[in-house]
Amino acid sequence: MKSLQWALPLLLVSSLAAAQTVTDDSGQRVEIKRPAQHIADAWFAHHSLLMTLGAGDCIVATVNHPADRPWMFKVQPSLNQALQAHGKTFASEALVVRHVDAVFVPANDPDAESYRLAGIPVLAMNFDDFDSMKRSLITTAKVVGTSAAASRAQAYNQYLDEQIATIQAKTAGLTDAQRPRVLHIQSLHPLKVDGRNTLIDTWIKLAGGRNVASGINGNMQPISPEDVIRWNPDVIIIGAGAGTLDGSDDGTLFASVSAVQHHRVLQNPSGVFPWDRYGTEVALQIQWAAKQLHPTLFPQLDMVTATQAFYRQFYDYSLSASDAQRILQALPPE
C-alpha cells in the first residue's frame, strides 16, 4: 500500500509535466494535454513531417490515399489502417471515436473550428521556406511529445542546413548569365506554374537557377502558353503527376522554347511526397535540382545513394537502388 501511495503522486506529476502549450504556425497557442499518440492529419504534405519524426504510425486519420501517394503508403504501411477522408474533411465524431489527441490542418482550414468544438486540439500548419519548415517540424515534435521526435527534428534540421550550405557554397557566386532560366510547371491541364514567395522559388535560386515566373506571386498560378514562349526558359521542370509535355494540348506550341529544343524538360522526382513541394524531401530536391542545373559543380553527388541514405535515416526504410531510381523518375513502386 505504501508503494502505491508513492506511485500515485508520481503519476500525477508525470501527467501534469506532459501538458504543454504549443504555438502553431498561425500564431495560435494550443494546449496539448498529453503526448499525441493518435493524430489526424488534414494537410497532405504534413504527413512527411510526422514520418520524419518517427511518428507516422501515430496517424489514425489521413487525407492521403494509396492511389495518389503509393510510396507514402509503402514506406508507412500503418496508413492503410487509418481512416481515409473523402476530400479534405474528417467527421469530428469519427476522430473522437479514434481517441484523436491532435489534428494538424493546413492554414485557413474551414473545418478547424468543428474539430475544436469536438474538444480536439487543432494545430494550423503553414510554411513557405526552409526556416518556416524547420520551425513547423520542431512544433510537430513538441506535439508528438517524445524525446525521440525532438532528437529527429534536430537531426533533420541539421541535415537540411548542411545540404543548403554545401549547395550555396558552389552556387552563390554564379553570375546571372551562369544561372539557367527555370520554369516550374505544377499543372499542364490547366497550365499552372509556381512564382515568387514559394518554396519552389527558394530551391530554384539555391540550386543556381532563375525562376522565369518570379513576376507572378504564389503557388499554382494560371498562365497562358504564350507566357511560356515569351519567357523562353532554358529548363522546364514538370511536377510529379502533371503529365508530360508531349501529352499536353500545348506541347506543340512550345517547340520553339529553348528547354524543348535542347532537351531540358525534366520530370520532378516524387517519393513519399512530391519532392518539389512542401515536404521534408525538399532536402533531396535541392540536391537533385543543383545536380540537374549545374552537373559540373556537383560531380560526386549520386542521387540514388543520397535518396537511399535519406530514407534510411529519416523514414526508417531500406530503399533498394532500383526503388530509388523509380522515385527519381517519379514512378510508383513496382
Per-residue pLDDT of 124-143, as tens digits, reads 999 888 999 999 999 999 99
Q: What is the pLDDT of residue 241?
A: 83
Q: Please, which residues have CB within 8 angstroms of residue 253's CB and are 6 or more apart in sequence?
A: 225, 228, 229
Per-residue pLDDT of 83-106, as tens digits, reads 999 889 999 999 999 999 999 999
Per-residue pLDDT of 159-168, as tens digits, reads 999 999 999 9
What three-state secondary structure class fits 315? Answer: coil
Domains defined for the chain, CATH in brackets: 20-143 (3.40.50.1980), 174-328 (3.40.50.1980)
The band of 18, judged by pLDDT with boundaries at 50, 70 and 90, is low
Q: What is the pLDDT of residue 14?
A: 42
Residue 251 has pLDDT above 80, yes or no: no
Cα atoms found within 13 Å of the Cα of residue 99, Cβ hemisphere only: 6
CA distance 169 to 104: 36
Under a CB-based contact definition with an 8 Å cutoff, are residues 315 and 308 in contact? no
**183 — phi, psi (to 5°)?**
-120, 125
Per-residue pLDDT of 188-230, as tens digits, reads 989 999 999 999 999 999 999 999 999 999 999 999 999 999 9
The band of 115, judged by pLDDT with boundaries at 50, 70 and 90, is very high
CA distance 194 to 212: 10
Residue range 6-16: average pLDDT? 42
Residue 196 carries which DSSP code?
A: B
Residue 89 carries which DSSP code?
A: -
Q: What is the pLDDT of residue 7?
A: 45
Query: Which is it for the CA torsion 45, 323, 60, 65, positive or negative?
Result: positive
Residue 17 has pLDDT above 60, yes or no: no
All cell numbers assigned to 164: 543548403
What three-state secondary structure class fits 46? Answer: helix
Any idea which residue has 474528417 for its cell? Answer: 90
The band of 65, judged by pLDDT with boundaries at 50, 70 and 90, is very high
* DSSP element (H, E) containing 189: none
Residue 38 carries which DSSP code?
A: S
CA distance 44 to 154: 23
What percent of the chain lies above the pLDDT cut of 70? Answer: 94
* DSSP element (H, E) containing 21: strand 20-23
CA distance 99 to 111: 18
Other CB atoms within a 10 A radius of the CB of residue 106 amount to: 18
Residue 6 has pLDDT above 60, yes or no: no
